[in-house]
Amino acid sequence: MNASGDRRDPEVRLEDFGDFETAWCPGCGNFGILAAVKRALVELQIAPHQLLFVSGIGQAAKSPHYLRANLFNGLHGRALPVATGAKLANPELVVLVQSGDGCSYGEGGNHFLAAIRRNIDLTLLAHDNRVYGLTKGQASPTSPRQMQTKAQPGGPTSEAFDPLAVAVTMHASFVARGFAGRQAHLAGLIAAAVRHRGFALVDILQPCVSYNRIHTHRWYEERCYELDGSHDPTDRDAARARIESNQERIPLGILYRNERPVLRERFPALQSGPLVGRSVDRAALAEIVAGF
Amino acid sequence: MSNPTTRNLVIGGAAGQGLGSAGHLLARHLVRLGHQVLVTQSYQSRIRGGHNSIALRVSQRTLSAPQERIDLLLALDQETIALHAGDLAPEGRILAAGSPSLPDELRSRTLRVPISDLGGKPLTNFILLGVAASCLGLEASALASAAQAALQKRPELAQKAAGAVRAAQAWANEQAGVRDGMGSVRLPAGTEQGQTRRVLMSGNQAIALGAISAGIRFCAFYPMTPATSVNQTLVSLSERCGLVVEQAEDEIAAINMAIGASFAGAPALVATSGGGFALMTEGVSLAAMTETPLVVVVAQRPGPATGLPTRTEQADLEFVLHAGHGEFPRAVFAPGSVEACFHLTRRACLLAEQSQGPVFVLTDQFLADAHRAIEPFATEALPELRPGSGVPEGAHPAGSFTAAPPSAPPAETAPGDYRRHAFSGTGVSPRRLPGGGPELVVTDSDEHTEAGHLTEDLTVRRQMVAKRLRKERGLRERIVPPERYGDARPELLLVGWGSTRGAILEATDRLRAAGRPTGALLFAQVWPLEPESFADALSAAAAVIAIEGNATGQLARLIRRETGCEIVRRLQRFDGLPITRDYILRALGAEQARSGATKEKP
Ligand SMILES: Cc1ncc(C[n+]2csc(CCOP(=O)(O)OP(=O)(O)O)c2C)c(N)n1
Ligand code: SF4
């Protein structure tokens, strides 16, 4: 995750993250996710200034504006590359990416695959409401075929994308699913994801009360169950079986986890610390120029 | 042979025959001997795919452009003769591998080199190099040792190559044609070099070194000719210079990564060509909106679309000038030499930090790939970037950009009260880095408040637009004015930008030597334009001609837009080849003027 532990900061409390007015619809799943994020950060004792949130564009991507932390709210689909650059520049920052399913898996789909392959050490919180909220209800990559929308009156023309199946298949180093309606459980998952060294995906099932009539709070409550000790998250086949089994039973928890080298270890330049604040080695440069 | 100081060697053959490595070996050797050398692709309009050629122009004086006429042609295959013999100077010579069939008029000017006797086909490039060394009058064995040293990583090849060079040189020294017939080819001794030995460097290499010297720490790229060698040079120096260079999944990711790195405090650069830059445009707009310093190098090649990937053009000026949605200021540099690639990239890096936004370096395939002997850059005293603590005083002629001294703490010291986008007279806000202290650094691609949070307050919107646009004043105060050359009140003024500088300088010299008062106006920065810095030069000339490597006269139109002054006469080249001195002179119908002057070799 980060190198935040070396600073002895005063105790981090919930109030440190503030309390802001939001632009979300009452009853939106984003409220539960925001609350869980703050709880996780208190559990982790990470202070606002040690955190960098990066988000894209959408209802979900507004979340980091509603707590106190460093924030780069970039373009639709591009949160992961910005976060990757920032983390490489300063690996001491704890980096969290927050965006919707459209932003993370649609417009940013290529970056999602690349982040898994790089194993960049950050946490992706994908608010998965299975619809485009901000643009008022078009199908998203995770919308099922039977979901009718204004733009897709006969349902989406493509099969739904399964981010967890893809992530596990690609040996993503941390794959979890949470539900906005189970705050305490979700907070635990987020904390575990941030603690994990490497790319950590938390796909968060999020009811959208305005545009998704199928996947309501109740629909999820009836189907979700929490993984217990009987699931071994280091067993990839078991993870796949859980993900691909009966859609009427949706597992929540850490589905899969592995330990592998993180991106920054591949750069010799980062062995001596962050890139920030260094000066040019003039003697080396003169030697390099003379060698051309 | 009056004034026989400049020689033009062309090596041609099939792709894979190793003529690039042979050419660079010879070029480097000549630089070590004190010669001025310019290495370019041999630009020849009849060239088809599969044929490669490289041109070495060698002289005692500083060279600024390639020439078309060939003094010595090294033909590794038959096709080379067919393609290039037309450019042979009247006393030019050909060194041909094996026994190609030759038209009568070339027979007496060609030396056939028995490749199989001298080391065999795989060593053809080195064998011809050895013969060429002999023709040029280079000391035997020195080139062989240079070959050995250059190939030290492949000891077996090094041994064979050195042997081939030596054998070929010995053979050539025995040939009557070499002893007596190479007067027009032989090189005088190299000039004395000072304490600093000259080095052989390309435009792209100079860009990479300029960036490193200014403090660039991060680069993300997706490979695209002709920008790749900027990224490649950074990769090869990354460990030694402490850089992170990452190949991204696409150009969109590359520019967004660079913006993320820069935001977090690692000065960042991206380098690409037109098609890749098309994908990056959303990032240009993002850098402007989030006020994140970013240097973007665009190495032009002919478009539209994939165009001619390995050729040159200057057709993306308008694209770079307008790329990115919305309104925001920017600066665009267009270096005209290898040295300028270094210095203007440095300047771009500092200016990006000072203006907290995107700054461009616009080059093209010709300048990117051309290698030239240069004096090594003095790197000791050059200022460098310190994101978050301002650009050092003296880094820039016009001083610091920010209204407040860069080292002063922001007015708001309570944690969390820091405002990343605080309003200021210059439009530039004090910069802090995330994680650098208790202040929270917040920014947004949405319109935002001073604190960086998204807003739909339309009053704030108006203020933010004005704030961002205020930076243009600072950019204008730091303009590199166009270079003036030649006569101040000329009969003809040649106007150009970027990589055509060398050709225009040499053409100006020729025209003046032929008695025609000529001047040149050369833009190394194409945006912003300050009419006061050049309008008088345009009006002082009896006639003005705009020389550009594009089909529509993009600089001429920009000048008209900014000054109202229309340059009617245009010299435009868009066949993928660079504008050369000879091309300009031909186009100006100056051949006649030239024939009146001394019959000097080009
Ligand atoms: C390049 C680009 N294309 C399209 C948009 C418009 N847009 C904004 S948010 C969005 C989709 C939002 O869906 P999602 O990412 O799932 O987030 P949600 O609003 O549902 O939380 C789209 C298409 C944009 N801002 N930028
Ligand atoms: S549209 Fe849906 S996702 Fe967006 S705020 Fe409303 S309920 Fe939440």
Q: Which chain B residues are within 8 Å of A22, Cβ to Cβ?
A: none
Tokens linked to B50 = 């599969």
Q: Is the ipTM value over 0.95, yes or no?
A: yes
Tell me the shortest Cα–Cα distance from B532 to chain A, in angstroms. 37
Q: Does B241 contact A268 at a Cβ distance shorter than 8 Å? A: no
Q: Mean pLDDT across chain A, nearest whole number?
A: 95
Q: Which chain B residues are within 8 Å of A50, Cβ to Cβ?
A: 435
Q: Which chain A residues are within 8 Å of B246, Cβ to Cβ?
A: 84, 88
CA neighbor of B83 nearest in space, from B123, B42, B122, B124:
B42
Angle between helices B274-290 and B251-264 (to 10 degrees): 30
The CA distance from B554 to B47, in Å, is 27
Q: Which chain B residues are within 8 Å of A277, Cβ to Cβ?
A: 265, 386
Q: Are B504 and B338 in contact (CB under 8 A)?
A: no
Query: B439-496: per-residue pLDDT in tens?
Result: 999 999 999 999 999 999 999 999 999 999 999 999 999 999 999 999 999 999 999 9
DSSP β-bridge partners for residue B56: B9, B39
pLDDT at B591: 41
Residues 96-115 of A with CB under 8 A from B: 110-111, 113-114
Q: Say yes or no: B439 contacts chain A, CB-CB below 8 A.
A: yes
Q: Which atom of ligand 1 is nearest to the CA of A60?
A: 21
Write the secondary structure of A185-205 as one string of H (helix), E (strand) and C (coil).
Answer: HHHHHHHHHHHCCCCEEEEEE
Query: A183-202: per-residue pLDDT in tens?
Result: 999 999 999 999 999 999 99
Query: B22-65: per-residue pLDDT in tens?
Result: 999 999 999 999 999 999 987 666 666 688 899 999 998 889 89
Q: Which residue of B has its CA nearest to A115?
A: B249
DSSP assignment of B463-498, as one string?
HHHHHHHHHHHHHHHT--PPEEEE-SS-SEEEEEEG
Of the partner residues A80, A85, A92, the one whose CB lies closest to the CB of residue B435: A92
pLDDT at B514: 94
pLDDT at B354: 94
Measured in Å, residue A14 CA sits from the centre of ligand 1 at 30
Query: B390-421: per-residue pLDDT in tens?
Result: 655 444 444 445 433 333 334 444 555 799 99
pLDDT at B430: 93
| pTM of the complete model | 0.94
Residues 228-287 of A with CB under 8 A from B: 267-270, 272, 274-282, 284-286
Strand-strand pairing, A94-100 and B218-221 = unpaired
Which residues' Cβ are closer than 6 Å to ligand 2? A 24-25, 28, 30, 59, 129, 133, 208-211
Which of A135, A136, A204, A212 has most ligand 1 atoms within 8 Å of CB, for mutation?
A135
CA B243 to each of CA A129, A264, B262: distance values in angstroms, whole numbers, following the listed order: 39, 12, 13
Q: Does A85 contact B437 at a Cβ distance shorter than 8 Å? A: no
Would residue B117 be called left, alpha or beta, if left means φ above 0 and alpha means ψ between -120 and 50 degrees? alpha
CA neighbor of B91 nearest in space, from B183, B189, B187:
B183
Residue B310's SS3 state is coil
Residue nearest to atom 24 of ligand 1 (CA): A76
For chain B, percent of residues with pLDDT exceeding 90 = 80
The CA distance from B97 to A244, in Å, is 66
R_g over Cα of chain B:
26
Residue nearest to atom 13 of ligand 1 (CA): A132
Q: Does A285 contact B265 at a Cβ distance shorter than 8 Å? A: no
Which band of pLDDT confidence, cut at 50, 70 and 90, is reported for residue B602? very low
Q: What is the mean pLDDT of residues B67-92?
A: 94
Confirm or reject CATH 3.40.50.300 for domain B483-600, answering yes or no: no
The CA distance from B229 to B208, in Å, is 9
Q: Say yes or no: B235 contacts chain A, CB-CB below 8 A.
A: no
Q: Mean pLDDT across chain B, nearest whole number?
A: 90
Q: Does B249 contact A114 at a Cβ distance shorter than 8 Å? A: yes
pLDDT at A244 > cutoff 90: no
The helix (H) or strand (E) run that includes residue B94 is strand B88-97
Q: Are B525 and B480 in contact (CB under 8 A)?
A: yes
CATH of domain B6-185: 3.40.920.10
DSSP β-bridge partners for residue A224: A250
Measured in Å, residue A88 CA sits from the centre of ligand 1 at 26
pLDDT at B193: 65
Q: Which chain B residues are within 8 Å of A92, Cβ to Cβ?
A: 435
| Residue position matching structure tokens 């689909």 | A77
CA neighbor of B356 nearest in space, from B303, B430, B296:
B430
Q: Say yes or no: A57 contacts chain B, CB-CB below 8 A.
A: yes
Are both B6-185 and B200-381 of the same fold?
no
Domain residues of chain A, as ranges? 14-290
Strand-strand pairing, A200-205 and B331-333 = unpaired
Q: How many Cα atoms sit within 13 Å of A104 on the Cβ side?
A: 33
State the CATH class of domain B200-381: alpha beta
Ligand 1 within 6 A of A140 CB? yes
CA neighbor of B317 nearest in space, from B530, B529, B468:
B529
Domain residues of chain B, as ranges? 6-185, 200-381, 406-478, 483-600
Residue A93's SS3 state is coil
Q: Which fold has domain A14-290?
A: Rossmann fold (3.40.50)
Contacts of B7 (CB under 8 A, 6+ apart): B57, B58, B59, B71, B72, B136, B185, B187
pLDDT at A1 > cutoff 80: no
| Residue position matching structure tokens 């001394």 | B598
Q: Does B238 contact A268 at a Cβ distance shorter than 8 Å? A: yes
Q: Which atom of ligand 1 is nearest to the CA of A106?
A: 15
